[in-house]
Structure 1
Amino acid sequence: MTPPSGEGARSSGDLFAKFDPIIETRETLLARGVEDPFNLVMEKVLSPTRAICNGRDTILLGTYNYMGMTFDPDVIEAGKEALEQFGSGTTGSRVLNGTYQGHRECEEALREFYGMDHAMVFSTGYQANLGIISTIAGKGDYIVLDIDSHASIYDGCAMGKAEVVPFRHNDIEAMEKRLRRIPEDAGKLVILEGVYSMLGDVAPLKEMVAVAKKYGAMVLVDEAHSMGFIGKNGRGVAEEQGVIDDVDFIIGTFSKSVGTVGGFCVSNHPKFEILRLVCRPYVFTASLPPSVVATAATSIRKLMHGANKRAHLWENSKRLHAGLTGLGFKLGTDEPQSAIVAVIMPDLERGAMMWEALLKEGLYVNLARPPATPAGMTLLRCSLCAEHSTEEVETILAIFERAGKAVGIID
């Protein structure tokens, strides 16, 4: 039987029909000559802040490489040594043959970094949220979460089949109203993020954790975008706001400040270790390669002494935020709150044009669009690095000014 083709193929039974609006939007942008913003190729990475993109030396302002650890000599050397001693991979899960000495050392580094009793390393940050949330909150339990939570958080909720109760972003009163309506004897988990990745804004964790505890809820905080940078010791917003000892679980990733790949959960809960036997995304996933956990452990230990880098990153964030505001761009926050500075675009078409104009000038940022963004916004998301020099930040501002005027975003 010959399969159908053309327009007739898009019948009600077409499993891809639900993607048609996205396909149409993409094709419309590309037809207007805009380069595909979601298919950029880095031909060569020169440093944490520069790469060759489309044959051009490009400043990187959209990598989440907050602390610039990807080219740290000690980190690279640790990866090389592990690769030579233990090979390229484990070919097994953590509960079988996939736990090497390096995995234990990486978890030890995390326990030391956070000052907590338990640490569990996952193959990605996505899997850390998916695994921990779905395992500890199941059918009959309630999850109260900020409506702007990351996709991995929502997917963890769906996998665990708990009752999901969202509340308005960073609204303490709305969160308390939701908690008040939940049966007193029900299992309750409140999920928050230290820094929200789209706008770069910070959660009022101090007040929210207090409300959660008032109603007997456990608290999980995703510190993916604040680990290494925010807080006196780089432990995140929970440390900065003085509630790290009141949080039950902290989720994080190695793909931001740590500079490699992987995810983790740290906790002081006395029963935490049982999760290694009942958490499906941990039990049924191959463990990270020895070279990856070696680089992660080395990076984490160096981040413990990263005060100077943290201070410079804050300076970069303040300089970029003030500069873009002065040029007339509309930003996601009134003042710098993190290493993320989000520039709000009028719509997707002009956002894509602005993204392309920046790239042609030698600057890479993230183009973020609905449904990933809050309130249907199109954003140019800038993530600063501790390795960006003051001169590079000034160059970035000059590029934004030229591109913004060319596209008509600013006068």
Structure 2
Amino acid sequence: MPDSPETVAPERDLFSKFDALIAEREALLATGVRDPFAIVMDKVTSPTQAVIRGKDTILLGTYNYMGMTFDPDVVAAGKKALDEFGSGTTGSRVLNGTYDPHKDCEAALREFYGTEHAMVFSTGYQANLGIISTLAGKGEYIILDADSHASIYDGCSLGNAEIVRFRHNSVEDLDRRLGRLPKEPGKLVVLEGVYSMLGDIAPLPEMVAVAKKHGAMVLVDEAHGMGFFGPNGRGVYEEQGVEKDVDFVVGTFSKSVGTVGGFCVSNHPKFDVMRLVCRPYVFTASLPPSVVATAATSIRKLMHAGDKRAHLWRNSKRLHGGLKDLGFKLGTETPQSAIIAVILEDQQQAVLMWQALLEGGLYVNMARPPATPAGTFLLRCSLCAEHSAEQVETILGMFEAAGKAVGVIA
């Protein structure tokens, strides 16, 4: 038998491309700061309170916009479905994975959005991944905002369409780029109602008008708009009056609905064929019945949540105004959504500010590139309809103390 060849470690392996990031993280943690991306919730006691490292902490970074996670009716619906249908389906929606709660959840979505069709995915990420990659194929075009969410970009990557980006929220650049494309191929313009990093909203009437002028279909992601924009809480596209001109609305259950999952709603007469051709829908297990039961109950309650929406907007205006008065640099000049971004100079300042807030009893998200625009480091606050007015004042006091301690404000 010949001797086995000696194993030689390659100079570079498949992890080598991450070496710079690994070194950056190790250098940061060596300074004694905590890892902003490794937080564990020891216990969650309400939509706005948790215990982190043994300390009572106000939650201001959870996307739990409407505070539905502890709603008694929502929790009861999940428990009932768990008892009646078990813990999971173990199958795809097109095989054995469609239970009565899945159909009821899609019915709740049709009621909420006033559409003919609704399709539930296992995550919001998969909803964008599946719908975008399936709609636009080889020889067709996807036109998207440069600041689009990762799930939108990944949906583009999964498909074979040509990808065209336009400058963030620029109607003129969208018009110009659409005008350069050949007229014959199909086109899909992908927009977001609320952009999750800075909390700014899209000028949908102008953008949708431009898309239609050039013969493109329009998809709007309302992940961060569902629940509190518009008379019925459908999102920015309802608030801005373009419901009849938007072809597809994608959303998630992991924000205002308070659970997990994703969806797409539409009035297109051929939409149901997506259940047969959309790979991230066909080739994955469906959501547990208990999850879609909680989602259906939550969605139906959001249809009558006008008081909660009004309170959330009061919270957003107070926090935005208070932080601005303290001297913080914010992502938007005025409050545009339930997301308020506090802009910091660099990663070190962002981490120190984040840690000072956490030690003071407040959890927010720290965000950095590539999740944010190049060179932008920020703390992202996401308000909840269950935050009391008193909690908002407490939060402002925490920001003032941390900002002064770190040197972000005078």
Could you tell me the TM-score, scaled by structure 1's length? 0.98
In structure 1, the partner of 2:155 is 156
In structure 2, the partner of 1:315 is 314
Distance 1:2-1:36 versus aligned 2 partners, 3 A rule: farther
For residues 347 and 166 of structure 1, the distance between their equivalents in structure 2, rounded to whole angstroms, comes to 27
CA deviation vs aligned residue, 1:154-201 (integer Å, no higher than 9, x gap): 000011121100000000000000100111011100000000000000
In structure 2, the partner of 1:80 is 79
- Superposed, 1:293-372 pairs within 5 Å as 293-372=292-371
Contact 1:10 1:17 (C-alpha < 8 Å) held by counterparts = no
- Give the superposition deviation at 1:3: 6.1
For residues 337 and 115 of structure 2, the distance between their equivalents in structure 1, rounded to whole angstroms, comes to 24
Query: SS state of the match for residue 376, structure 1?
Result: coil
> Which one-letter code corresponds to 1:166 in the other structure?
R
For residues 57 and 314 of structure 2, the distance between their equivalents in structure 1, rounded to whole angstroms, comes to 22
Aligned: 1:290 with 2:275: no
> Which one-letter code corresponds to 1:198 in the other structure?
M
- Superposed, 1:33-182 pairs within 5 Å as 33-182=32-181
Give the percent of matched residue pairs that are identical in Structure 1 and Structure 2. 75
In structure 2, the partner of 1:243 is 242
- Give the superposition deviation at 1:11: 2.1
Contact 1:343 1:381 (C-alpha < 8 Å) held by counterparts = yes
For residues 391 and 2 of structure 1, the distance between their equivalents in structure 2, rounded to whole angstroms, comes to 68
CA deviation vs aligned residue, 1:223-268 (integer Å, no higher than 9, x gap): 0000011111100000000001110000000000000000000000
For residues 376 and 289 of structure 1, the distance between their equivalents in structure 2, rounded to whole angstroms, comes to 40
In structure 1, the partner of 2:11 is 11
Q: Which ranges in structure 2 are unaligned for 5 or more consecutive residues?
A: none
Could you tell me the TM-score, scaled by structure 2's length? 0.98
- Give the superposition deviation at 1:2: 7.5
CA deviation vs aligned residue, 1:52-99 (integer Å, no higher than 9, x gap): 001000000000000000000000000000000000000000000000
For residues 19 and 364 of structure 2, the distance between their equivalents in structure 1, rounded to whole angstroms, comes to 27
- Superposed, 1:381-392 pairs within 5 Å as 381-392=380-391
Distance 1:10-1:235 versus aligned 2 partners, 3 A rule: farther
Query: SS state of the match for residue 233, structure 1?
Result: coil
For residues 389 and 325 of structure 1, the distance between their equivalents in structure 2, rounded to whole angstroms, comes to 20
Distance 1:306-1:3 versus aligned 2 partners, 3 A rule: farther
Query: SS state of the match for residue 191, structure 2?
Result: strand
For residues 138 and 21 of structure 2, the distance between their equivalents in structure 1, rounded to whole angstroms, comes to 33
Contact 1:125 1:263 (C-alpha < 8 Å) held by counterparts = yes
Query: SS state of the match for residue 42, structure 1?
Result: coil
CA deviation vs aligned residue, 1:199-218 (integer Å, no higher than 9, x gap): 00000001100110000000
- Give the superposition deviation at 1:374: 1.2
CA deviation vs aligned residue, 1:123-181 (integer Å, no higher than 9, x gap): 00000000000001011111111000000000000111211000000000000001001
For residues 375 and 311 of structure 1, the distance between their equivalents in structure 2, rounded to whole angstroms, comes to 34
For residues 263 and 10 of structure 2, the distance between their equivalents in structure 1, rounded to whole angstroms, comes to 42
In structure 1, the partner of 2:398 is 399
Q: Which ranges in structure 1 are unaligned for 5 or more consecutive residues?
A: none
> Which one-letter code corresponds to 1:224 in the other structure?
A
RMSD: 0.9
- Give the superposition deviation at 1:24: 1.3
CA deviation vs aligned residue, 1:368-391 (integer Å, no higher than 9, x gap): 001110132001000000000000
Distance 1:182-1:394 versus aligned 2 partners, 3 A rule: same
For residues 378 and 313 of structure 2, the distance between their equivalents in structure 1, rounded to whole angstroms, comes to 21
CA deviation vs aligned residue, 1:260-315 (integer Å, no higher than 9, x gap): 00000000000000000000000001000000000000000000000000000000
Distance 1:183-1:43 versus aligned 2 partners, 3 A rule: same
For residues 391 and 312 of structure 1, the distance between their equivalents in structure 2, rounded to whole angstroms, comes to 13
For residues 44 and 205 of structure 1, the distance between their equivalents in structure 2, rounded to whole angstroms, comes to 40
- Corresponding pairs, count: 406
Contact 1:59 1:363 (C-alpha < 8 Å) held by counterparts = yes
In structure 1, the partner of 2:272 is 273
CA deviation vs aligned residue, 1:29-56 (integer Å, no higher than 9, x gap): 1000000000000000000000000100
Aligned: 1:198 with 2:190: no
Contact 1:106 1:293 (C-alpha < 8 Å) held by counterparts = yes
For residues 156 and 214 of structure 2, the distance between their equivalents in structure 1, rounded to whole angstroms, comes to 20
> Which one-letter code corresponds to 1:179 in the other structure?
L
Query: SS state of the match for residue 375, structure 1?
Result: coil
Of stretches 177-186 and 18-27 in structure 1, the one that deviates more from structure 2 is 18-27
Query: SS state of the match for residue 234, structure 1?
Result: coil
For residues 170 and 92 of structure 2, the distance between their equivalents in structure 1, rounded to whole angstroms, comes to 40
